[in-house]
Chains A and B, each alone.
Chain A
Amino acid sequence: MAQVLVGKRAADAVAMVPRLFTICGRSQGVAAALACERATEIESEEIVRCARADLVDAEIAHEYLWRILLDWPRAVGDAGNTGLLAAARGQLSEALESAQWAMGYAPDGTVRRGSRWGDVRAKLRGLLAEDMMEGLPAALDDATHFNAWLATTKSSVAKIIARFRDVSAEMDRPGVPLLPPVTPEVAAGELARRLDVDGEFCAAPDWDGSPRETGARARQQSHPLVAELTRSLSSPVLPRLAARLVELAALLREERSARVGSTAIRPGDAIAWVETARGVLIHRATVEGERIARYQIVAPTEWNFHPRGALAVELEALRATDRGTLDRRVDLLVQSLDPCVTYGVEVGHA
């Protein structure tokens, strides 16, 4: 898909990118703007950086609420809460629209206006307080509080997560190493080298010779709850869910979480990265004159769903004595890694 951008003016390419992707359009758009601006030596102002961070944060909140209110319940046989998700989406769309002006290449400062993400966060906390977030964020302090919350709270989310915990308790712990954070040094060094010489890197990335897991669990690996669950449990499924709850709770408190960056590799050539709901999204833009000469995208799904990646090795380790149990475990595993597209499961008999 990135090939369609080659030959376009950088400003046009940045405008096109968000239209190409459904649920991560803002993150993709911000990554494209950062890569192209860095390649053409444009430094964005603080107000632009803040509005873009709000867009990325609001998009992450949207994705997490979709998982928590629809996908996780369905993976354990419940209906989900479409009404609450629709209400939350109404709020989130206000925040996204208010910061939309910051999406393009070198956005025009005369149209800037304040982002509504702060107000929307407060409204979301009220909307989600009773049914979903009861007991949070205190329950996310450590495993003792978390397990007590799972056992006693009225929160619908806790009941769903408790079922994930029960099913995943029977699953093994193979996993792949976690992807370290992208830094300017890593991007300008090893990442740039791989993008230059490895034709397979965008479609099947690995790091230090091994496929890696990206996403909330990798980002929150040092968080006390996530670290403790990872150490003590036989499967990474529950730590992945807990890491998303940690990030959602932080997003809904006033904490800034967006992690974005960019760095020049050489004149006219730059890499940008955005931590999205599913993990790190990498864009690399090479601009000659005003036009895109090369464009590369490494999406988070390519790490987690790599042919030898987290999903593959954990699927291989799944054992079940009957088809129903196997299907349930596969659904939990896939949902814990969060593919960005519809998936289906076919079982062959060896």
Chain B
Amino acid sequence: MCLAIPARVVELLPGDMARVDVGGVRRDCSLALVDGIGVGDFVVLHVGYAIQRLDPEEADRTLALFAEAGLVT
């Protein structure tokens, strides 16, 4: 199933792209489907796209759940 591990934006890249940190792993994603994302924001990713912005508290709660499930450290 498609787990919604929150990804933190660490750098904005040219071409409406961003570099994000997902549980310590860096990857690049497209920002074409969400508006107004900046460095430090948390997003949910799907097949290379950011599809939803999370507020920081919600991201923290979700990350705690994934940590409890042993899926992130």
Residues on A facing B (Cβ under 8 Å): 1, 3-4, 16, 19-25, 82, 85-86, 89, 297, 299, 301, 340-342
Neighbour of A89 across the interface among B33, B66, B69, CB < 8 A: B33
Q: List 24 A-B contacts (CB under 8 A).
A: A4-B65, A4-B68, A19-B61, A19-B65, A20-B3, A20-B4, A20-B62, A20-B65, A20-B66, A21-B2, A21-B3, A22-B2, A22-B45, A22-B46, A23-B2, A23-B46, A24-B1, A24-B2, A89-B33, A297-B1, A340-B2, A341-B47, A342-B47, A342-B48
B32 adjacent to chain A (CB < 8 Å): yes
In the complex, B37 has a CB within 8 A of chain A: no
Residues of A within 8 A of B47 (CB): 341-342
User: Among B33, B61, B69, B71, which residue has its beta carbon within 8 angstroms of that of A82?
Assistant: B33
Known: A85-B33, A89-B33, A342-B48. A19 touches B69 (CB 8 A): no
5 shortest interchain CB distances as A-B pairs: A4-B69, A22-B4, A340-B2, A22-B2, A299-B1
Bound together, the chains give a CA A23 to CA B46 distance in angstroms of 7
Query: What is B's interface to A at a CB cutoff of 8 Å?
Result: 1-4, 30, 32-33, 44-48, 51-52, 58, 61-62, 65-66, 68-69, 71
Known A4-B68, A82-B32, A299-B1; 8 more pairs at CB < 8 Å: A3-B69, A19-B61, A19-B62, A20-B3, A22-B2, A25-B4, A86-B32, A301-B1
Docked-complex contact A21 and B65, CB < 8 angstroms = no
Interface residues of B, dominant DSSP = mixed
Kindly provide the distance from the CB of B30 to the nearest chain A CB, expressed in whole angstroms: 8
Least CB distance from B65 to A in Å reads 6
Shortest beta-carbon distance from B62 to chain A in Å: 5
In the complex, chain B residues whose CB is within 8 Å of the CB of A3: 69
B residues within 8 A CB of A301? Answer: 1
Q: Which residues of A contact B46 (CB under 8 A)?
A: 22-23
Q: How far is the CB of A109 from chain B (nearest CB, A)?
A: 24
Considering the complex, give the chain A residue whose CB is closest to the CB of B52: A22
Instruction: Point out the residues of chain B lying under 8 angstroms from A89, CB to CB.
Output: 33, 51
Chain B residue nearest in CB terms to A297: B1
User: With a CB–CB cut-off of 8 A, which chain B residues contact A86?
Assistant: 32-33
Which of A4, A20, A297 has most chain B Cβ within 10 Å?
A: A20
Q: How far is the CB of A305 from chain B (nearest CB, A)?
A: 11
If A4-B65, A340-B2, A342-B47 touch, whether A19 touches B33 (CB-CB below 8 Å) is no
Find the B residue at minimum CB distance from A25: B4
**Cβ contact within 8 Å between B65 and A22:** no
B3, B32, B45, B62: the one within 8 Å of A1 (CB): B3
The residue that A16 contacts in the complex, of B30, B33, B65, with Cβ under 8 A, is B65
Least CB distance from B17 to A in Å reads 12
User: Nearest chain-B residue to A24 (Cβ)?
Assistant: B2
Query: Chain A contacts of B48 at CB under 8 A?
Result: 342
> Do A23 and B65 touch (CB < 8 A)?
no
Shortest CB distance B73–A (Å)? 15
CA distance A299 to B62 in the complex (A): 20
**How distant is A142 from chain B, measured CB to nearest CB, in Å?**
34
Residues of chain B contacted by A85 (CB below 8 angstroms): 33
Closest to B44 in A: A22
Enumerate chain A residues within 8 angstroms of B61, measured Cβ to Cβ: 19
B44 partner residues in chain A, CB cutoff 8 A: 22
